[in-house]
Structure 1
């Protein structure tokens, strides 16, 4: 197994035991907890000056803080996305700077590419021939693309309500698409999860790249924070507002900020803010009620499919990241989210995915509450391209015009 010098194994976030990454491939062998890649930070032989001399081409430029070396990576040049200045949004929010981290520029149009690149690299290292996962949509499309790059078969389980673009994308890359739940469009990610579990039980040789089942998806996504910090000359922004469903990227970004501070690359952590839709906001509810984990959301009432995750299994990690970074959580209505997506497009010319615009509407709400100061730097995580669900945005624009 090809690994980087500093990577020392996988730590269970529940029982605390450490496992060899060659033999422990997914959840903790002892307690079933989430495994997290661990490093000997004294062995991390790279500095910000070293990084500045490297081409800004992909997330694998940070290989010293990843489990696998660049030479082993299953990569489509994911990462290295733009951090775009948004002066009109800054004026509207009454802050010093607003910057949009545009993950829509990734190969399949979302930040899911980062996680699947790392997870698919692990799959190849473990000798997998077939991967499987369930997804709300975008992760499934990304998995099919990276499986094709690695010459692996991919079984992707999506709910009926997943977008046409994501369904088509899975098949375009040669993935085997399984649609789960009722065919009336009322299915949820839980339906695809049940179908995926049945498929895995029937096919024990399949290798999972599912969220927080593989230890590596949040590890790929942590590179978003490393890029943001480097793009800001290693000065932490005053807030990152992140559209939150399963929270994989939020957990990963916080981990990277902790690592950067530990290595002396930056002085402060990045305050992480979870932005959700009011119709499915288990993390916001838990934070507001002072709980250390969520309660499952019973009645999903949102069109924002990508963050309609009623039962985020890693909620303790999400809540810990929010608390440790002195961040927060905010929920806004679907109308406010879609209004924000159109507002960003009109003000700045940038296309945010309909779901992703929860970051923009959440930032507006946080600014209205007085959460930000007038000289703050606020980063919005645009986790996916606007054309992922352009039909939703166009329909909402028609409603706006009708009003």
Structure 2
């Protein structure tokens, strides 16, 4: 495999064993736990300072920042020292490097110093899923795969088909019938083998598992099965901090289903602190729909793992994940960062998407607007101070859900 200098292997978050990334491709070979890419951070420092030694730690920090700032802000792969694979070997369409947009009207309404919206809808397939799939499909290529497969609520499947096409691989995507038309259509347009399964994401997961059992040559790019999806998404936090002049925001509110991006960003925040580039961790907040809120329930009840949400009922398909397998990692991130969890109704979430579009001109996907709705509720509860900087993660473009948002307006007679 062609890997970066600092990448030392994959460490199991459960048993703590570290494995060679060339042979351990997915879950832990010993206990089936989630594998997490691990790095030699001294090697990262050496690389970012061009091996120029300094007895002054402030000088070393300045050198690292200057190195990153000297690069074009054109792709998440500009942070390749903190990723498993070098940019030159990446299956990439210049994903990442999305805008961090100032929202003064929202800041005034929330009663905080600043609201910044990280607009992931500007990625190649319109969502932050591209960050995960560029890393996962790169790993698939490195491992000699010919076919990739996953089940998805929609956007990750579309992204997987796109990046598989870019790499010349075949893709097999299992989507529930409730997935949006755009996702289904674009899997086909990218040449993917699409299976639409009646029901919800769990039903699609069962069909995917059955197919994987029959095709041992298919390479999984499924959330937290591949070690690389959350690793690609952590770059959102690197960008937020750099775009904010190396100031850590006080809070990050993230629309949470499987929690991949939240886990990745929390890891990134700890890495920046380890390198000395920042001093603090942003408080991470998981925002869910009250119709499917297993993370919120577990957080409020002080549990270390969720209980399966028996009857999910939300129009926000992207976060309708009743059984998030990595909930211990999500809950750890929320508590370690002194953050929290919040659930709001679908009505409030859709109202928030419309409010952001009408007051700031920014288009949030219906699912993504859980972050805005959650932020309003958190502000109402007094979670934020008047001088706080709050970042909302818009994980996907509004036109992914234009029919849902328009129908919501029509239901109000607009």
TM range (shorter): over 0.9
Q: In structure 1, what is the equivalent of residue 61 of structure 2?
A: none
Deviations 1:251-301 (A, max 9, x none): 000000000000000010111000000000000000000000100000011
Match of 1:261 among 242, 248, 273: 273
Q: Secondary structure of the equivalent of 1:42?
A: helix
Q: Secondary structure of the equivalent of 1:104?
A: helix
User: How large is the Cα RMSD of the aligned pairs?
Assistant: 0.5
Q: Report the alpha carbon displacement of residue 114 of structure 1 after superposing the two structures with TM.
A: 0.2
Matches of 1:223 and 1:173, distance apart in 2: 25
Matches of 2:212 and 2:354, distance apart in 1: 40
Q: In structure 2, what is the equivalent of residue 327 of structure 1?
A: 339
Q: In structure 1, what is the equivalent of residue 29 of structure 2?
A: 29
Q: Report the alpha carbon displacement of residue 152 of structure 1 after superposing the two structures with TM.
A: 0.1
Q: Secondary structure of the equivalent of 2:384?
A: coil
Matches of 2:183 and 2:92, distance apart in 1: 20
Match of 1:126 among 143, 146, 153: 143
Q: In structure 2, what is the equivalent of residue 252 of structure 1?
A: 264
Q: In structure 1, what is the equivalent of residue 40 of structure 2?
A: 40
Q: Report the alpha carbon displacement of residue 101 of structure 1 after superposing the two structures with TM.
A: 0.1
Match of 1:147 among 136, 145, 164: 164
Q: Report the alpha carbon displacement of residue 400 of structure 1 after superposing the two structures with TM.
A: 2.5
Q: In structure 2, what is the equivalent of residue 366 of structure 1?
A: 378
Matches of 1:72 and 1:326, distance apart in 2: 37
Q: In structure 2, what is the equivalent of residue 316 of structure 1?
A: 328
Q: In structure 1, what is the equivalent of residue 14 of structure 2?
A: 14
Q: Is the 8 A contact 1:11 1:35 kept in 2?
A: yes
Matches of 1:94 and 1:400, distance apart in 2: 28
Matches of 1:246 and 1:199, distance apart in 2: 22
Q: Secondary structure of the equivalent of 1:401?
A: coil
User: Does 1:233 pair with 2:253?
Assistant: no
Aligned length: 397
Q: In structure 1, what is the equivalent of residue 128 of structure 2?
A: 111
Matches of 2:252 and 2:26, distance apart in 1: 29
User: Does 1:50 pair with 2:57?
Assistant: no
Deviations 1:10-69 (A, max 9, x none): 000000000000000000000000000000001002111100000000000000000000
Matches of 1:38 and 1:235, distance apart in 2: 25
Q: Report the alpha carbon displacement of residue 180 of structure 1 after superposing the two structures with TM.
A: 1.1
Alignment of 1:78-93 (within 5 A): 78-93=95-110
Matches of 2:274 and 2:39, distance apart in 1: 12
Deviations 1:53-93 (A, max 9, x none): 00000000000000000000000110000000000000111
Structure 2 unmatched ranges of 5 or more: 49-63
TM-score, normalising length: structure 2: 0.95
Matches of 1:328 and 1:280, distance apart in 2: 16
User: Does 1:66 pair with 2:83?
Assistant: yes
Q: Secondary structure of the equivalent of 2:254?
A: strand
User: Does 1:224 pair with 2:236?
Assistant: yes
Matches of 1:324 and 1:234, distance apart in 2: 21
Q: In structure 1, what is the equivalent of residue 57 of structure 2?
A: none
Q: In structure 1, what is the equivalent of residue 196 of structure 2?
A: 179
Deviations 1:187-207 (A, max 9, x none): 110000000000100000100
Q: In structure 1, what is the equivalent of residue 400 of structure 2?
A: 388
Q: Secondary structure of the equivalent of 2:412?
A: helix
User: Does 1:270 pair with 2:270?
Assistant: no
Q: In structure 2, what is the equivalent of residue 77 of structure 1?
A: 94
Q: Is the 8 A contact 1:280 1:297 kept in 2?
A: yes
Q: Secondary structure of the equivalent of 1:92?
A: helix
Q: In structure 2, what is the equivalent of residue 3 of structure 1?
A: 3
Q: Is the 8 A contact 1:235 1:267 kept in 2?
A: no
TM-score, normalising length: structure 1: 0.98
Structure 1 unmatched ranges of 5 or more: 182-186
Q: Secondary structure of the equivalent of 2:363?
A: coil
Matches of 2:313 and 2:135, distance apart in 1: 33
Matches of 2:332 and 2:246, distance apart in 1: 23
Matches of 1:120 and 1:234, distance apart in 2: 30
